[in-house]
């Protein structure tokens, strides 16, 4: 499970960085989205990976923290997803406006020679 997750984060980050460095605005948005997926997975993994453990304390009186998953990174991921979603939507709007105003989907608004 660790290897799978690590590979997933690595591949997502690698593709994201490559796309962010491309000159088209569409590639930029996809790159930033991939990067934010990678970061979200990374945050989740910082609460230690474990399966079959609830993040909330049960009502049965068994309150040994070692039996539970860490709930905090999950809360952080939720916040990060919401904020990332909102800012990416905003970026998309700006991309469309830039496309309309400059008639080009190059990030500088004109083709490089």
- Residues in contact with other proteins by CB under 8 A are 20, 25, 28, 32, 35-36, 39, 42-43, 45-48, 72-73, 76, 79-80, 83-84, 86-88, 90-91, 94-95, 97-98, 101-102, 107-109
Which C-beta is closer to other proteins: that of 59 or that of 101? 101
Which C-beta is closer to other proteins: that of 61 or that of 100? 100
Which C-beta is closer to other proteins: that of 7 or that of 75? 75
φ and ψ at 12, to 5 degrees? -60, -45
* H or E stretch covering 65: none
108 SS3 class: coil
61: left (phi over 0), alpha (psi -120 to 50) or beta: left
Minimum Å gap between C-beta 84 and other proteins is 8
Nearest to 44 by CA among 75, 14, 4, 68: 75
Minimum Å gap between C-beta 79 and other proteins is 7
């Amino acid at each position: 499970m660790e290897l799978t997750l690590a590979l997933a984060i690595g591949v997502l980050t690698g593709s994201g960085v490559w796309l962010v460095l491309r000159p088209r605005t569409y590639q930029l948005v996809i790159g930033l989205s991939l990067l934010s997926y990678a970061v979200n997975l990374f945050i989740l993994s910082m609460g230690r990976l474990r399966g079959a453990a609830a993040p909330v304390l049960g009502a049965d009186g068994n309150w040994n923290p070692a039996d539970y998953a860490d709930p905090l990174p999950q809360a952080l991921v939720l916040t990060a997803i919401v904020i990332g979603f909102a800012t990416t939507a905003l970026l998309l709007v700006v991309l469309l406006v830039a496309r309309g105003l400059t008639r080009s989907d190059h990030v500088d608004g004109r083709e490089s020679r």
